[in-house]
Amino acid sequence: MALTGHTSGKVPYSPSGVNAVAFSADSMLIASAADDTTIRVWNATTGDEVQVLRGHEAQVTNVVFSPCGKRIASSSVDGTVRIWEWQASRLVFALRGHNRSVLRLAIGSGGNTLISGGLDGTIRFWDVNIGVATGSINAHLAPVTALTCLPDMNILASADTDGSVKIWRSI
């Protein structure tokens, strides 16, 4: 099955790259983030597009579902992290704090914390219930290119373009 629908965006005849995909916790949905500035939600069984989220002003770099599946978080070259109630196509929070593009996302602390990594080398922590930053780490000297979290153990791993991988405990 192929999921198609992302367009070339603002550049005519330019292919639009899909930068990230994520399954919902129940594996029924897939979200995709693309250069055309959209996030699309797909039925994982049928391949049907069920929602399109618009609001980023530049390429969308990553996407994650909340553990309950009711919200999606996205990051973008526009420097924002956005939290959506995807079924209503409603923006809940537009989070700003990175100085440049936001490249990666991870969910931590039982789904209450969103973690973002940026081109500026920082990792930021966000409370998804109230939409505020709860902390940051000047983690890397190069762009953060990967994040993964073991939420139950409060351990975060991050990587950057210089080849560095770091482990953070008690996040």
pLDDT in tens, 120-158: 999 999 999 999 999 999 999 999 999 999 867 688 999
Per-residue confidence (pLDDT) for residue 12, from 0 to 100: 39
* Largest distance between two CA atoms of the chain: 47
The answer for residues whose C-beta is within 8 angstroms of residue 25's C-beta and 6 or more apart is 65, 67, 68, 69
Confidence of residue 14 (pLDDT cuts 50, 70, 90): very low
In a domain, 2, yes or no: no
Number of domains in the chain: 1
Residue with tokens 């989220």: 53
Per-residue confidence (pLDDT) for residue 57, from 0 to 100: 95
In a domain, 1, yes or no: no
pTM listed for this prediction: 0.89
Per-residue confidence (pLDDT) for residue 171, from 0 to 100: 64
* Residue 2 buriedness (CB in 10 A; 0-12 / 13-18 / 19+): exposed
In a domain, 9, yes or no: no
- State the CATH number of the domain containing residue 146: 2.130.10.10
Whether the per-residue pLDDT at 13 is higher than 50: the answer is: no
The answer for residues whose C-beta is within 8 angstroms of residue 61's C-beta and 6 or more apart is 19, 20, 33, 75, 76, 77, 101, 102, 103, 104
Q: Which domain holds residue 57?
A: 18-169
Angle, vertex CA 79, rays to CA 78 and CA 82, nearest 5: 90
Express each pLDDT in 70-86 by its tens digit: 999 999 999 999 999 99
In a domain, 3, yes or no: no
For residues 74 and 22, give the distance between their C-alpha atoms in angstroms, rounded to a whole number. Answer: 11
Confidence of residue 2 (pLDDT cuts 50, 70, 90): low
Least confident residue range of 73-82, 89-98, 161-170: 161-170
In a domain, 13, yes or no: no
In a domain, 68, yes or no: yes
In a domain, 12, yes or no: no
What's the DSSP call for residue 97? -
What average pLDDT does range 16-40 have in this prediction?
A: 93
For residues 50 and 32, give the distance between their C-alpha atoms in angstroms, rounded to a whole number. Answer: 12
**Residue 30, CA atoms < 13 Å, CB-side half-sphere:** 16
Task: Return mean pLDDT, the chain.
Answer: 89
Confidence of residue 95 (pLDDT cuts 50, 70, 90): very high
In a domain, 84, yes or no: yes
Whether the per-residue pLDDT at 108 is higher than 90: the answer is: no
CA distance to 23, 51, 91, 136, 138, per residue, from 64 (Å): 8, 15, 15, 20, 23
Q: Is the dihedral of CA 78, 35, 160, 31 positive or negative?
A: positive
Confidence of residue 17 (pLDDT cuts 50, 70, 90): confident
